[in-house]
Amino acid sequence: MGFSWKTYNGTRVFYCDYSGLRTPEMLKLLHETCEILKNSPERVPLLTSFENTTGTTEFMNEVKRLGKEVISLKTTKTALLGISGVKNVLVQGYIFFTGENKLKTFQTEKEALDWLVSP
């Protein structure tokens, strides 16, 4: 859980791992991530894992707000892991609200990274 930078096929990818976190910790990590993205001199690919998490109204409201203000402006593409069931509906709501068109869900980290670093 937390964030880090990964290099995959020569491309730097920002990795944000919400796995197993509850809402207060997820909100804290979201704010930390957005601060790092805001301070990045360039747009970056973003890999985010939501394995073993629950999307709450509080988190979704904040991620939609910051998605419009920061994430969509500071990322080239966003790949999500751990999205199934109700979380699929939440992702579709996020896409609709933010107008994000460079976001996809994946089953494996390798598939996600391959897509993130592709032209």
What CATH number is associated with residue 19? 3.30.750.24
Q: What is the pLDDT of residues 3-34, one digit of tens each?
A: 999 999 999 999 999 999 999 999 999 999 99
Query: How many domains would you assign to the chain?
Result: 1
**pTM of the full predicted structure?**
0.93
Q: Which domain range does residue 12 map to?
A: 2-117
Q: What is the pLDDT of residues 73-82, one digit of tens each?
A: 999 999 999 9
- Residue 100 contacts by C-beta under 8 Å, 6 or more apart in sequence? 67, 71, 72, 78, 94
3-state helix, strand, coil in the chain (%, to 5): 50, 25, 25
Cα–Cα distance for residue pair 90/84, rounded to 1 Å: 10
Q: What is the pLDDT of residues 70-108, one digit of tens each?
A: 999 999 999 999 999 989 999 998 999 888 889 999 999
Sign (positive or negative) of CA dihedral 83, 87, 91, 92: positive
